[in-house]
Every structure is written in C-alpha cells, then in structure tokens.
Chains A and B, each alone.
Chain A
Amino acid sequence: MAEATVQPVAGNLPSRSPLLILGLSWLVPGGGHFLLGKRGRGALIFGSVALSFVLGLLMRGAMFLPKSGDILTTLIQYGGFVADLSSGLFYLVSIWLGYAQEDMAGHSHDYGAKFLVAAGLLNILAMVDAWDIATGKKD
C-alpha cells in the first residue's frame, strides 16, 4: 500500500546547508527564505529588491565598475560594484542583456544609480537574515 507523502511545511523542513541558502539568497532575492519555508517574507524581499532594481534601470542609473583611482574613487567604485553585484540574478541578467549606462549628469540618472545600489544592499540584509534562519539563530 502506498504511503501518503508528507508535504514540507514551515517548521518541518529538512535542514538545508546555510551556504546553499546564502548562495540562493544572493542569486534570487528572497529565494533563501522561500527554501526555508518563509514564503511571505521571501515574497516581500523579492518584490522590494526587484522594484528597486527595475526603477533603477528605468531611470537609467549607471552601474559601478571596479575601477581604481584615488582612495575615495576606489572606495566608491568598488563599494558600488559590490552593492550592484549583490542584486544577484537581476544584475547578471541586465549585464548579460547589454545594459551599460554610462555615468552622466542629471538627477534622474543619479537617483537610478542609487536605486540599483539600494537593491543590492537590501538583498545583503536579506542574505544575512536567511543565514541566521538557516543556522538556527532566529525563526
């Protein structure tokens, strides 16, 4: 006789590798939370990061590149690059599709660049949260 399959629910999920959760959280914002059964939180994170990133693109914000120069330029360029890269798949797909907005004058472009950076920074917060959940430090 066939046994009934048990559907995983929040709180009854098999333990996942925290590194897998961290990697998935980076690649797909909110993905780690989904894998951990925190679907509502995952959806909110995904929506927030996606909206921030898309608005950044629509405002034609520039992506930062890892360029060196004086200490302030290096700090801004590398910091911005890490933040942009933290958006995961959004960043990778936009670069793959050829998005290469040059840094140019104009408040709209400037806001756009900040929204792109903010998307990545928000995702870093989500990655840390997913890590904490995966390692049992919080629910």
Chain B
Amino acid sequence: MKLSHFETSVIFALLSSIVLGVVTKRTDQERLRYGLHCFGYFLAALFGIGWLMHFLHG
C-alpha cells in the first residue's frame, strides 16, 4: 500500500485526535470539541509547515 505524505498525515492526525479527545476530557461534548481542535491544529501545522518548506526551498 502506498499513500502520499499528505494522506498519511491526515490519517495520522485523525486517529491521534480521536484518541486524544477520548482520553483527555471529562464530558462527551468536551471530548468532541477537544478532538476537533486537535485535528484542526494538526491540519494547520501540516499546511503551515508545508508552505514554510515550500518558501524555504524556493
């Protein structure tokens, strides 16, 4: 199986966010919100660092 860097990163972000949401907070609503936050931060880092590398490499 061959996945691109983007695909593996998004899957990793999704799975990690689910577990982080499940184990971190105390109510289901807080867990959902925290999981979504984590996923959003992962994606922001993915795109942010991606663009940063694009500009650094020229």
Contacts and interface: CB of A to CB of B under 8 A. Distances in A.
Specify whether A and B are partners.
Answer: yes
Interface of A: 41, 44-45, 47-49, 51-52, 55, 58-60, 107-108, 111, 114-115, 118, 122, 125-126, 128-129, 138-139
Query: Majority SS of interface residues in chain B?
Result: helix
Contacts of A128: 23
Contact of A108 (B2, B12, B22, B23): B2
Most buried by A among B8, B12, B15: B15
Interface residues on B, range: 10 to 19
Contacts of B22: 41, 44-45, 126, 129
Interface of B: 1-3, 5, 8, 11-12, 15-16, 18-20, 22-23, 26
Contact of A122 (B5, B15, B26): B15
B39 to A, nearest CB: 12
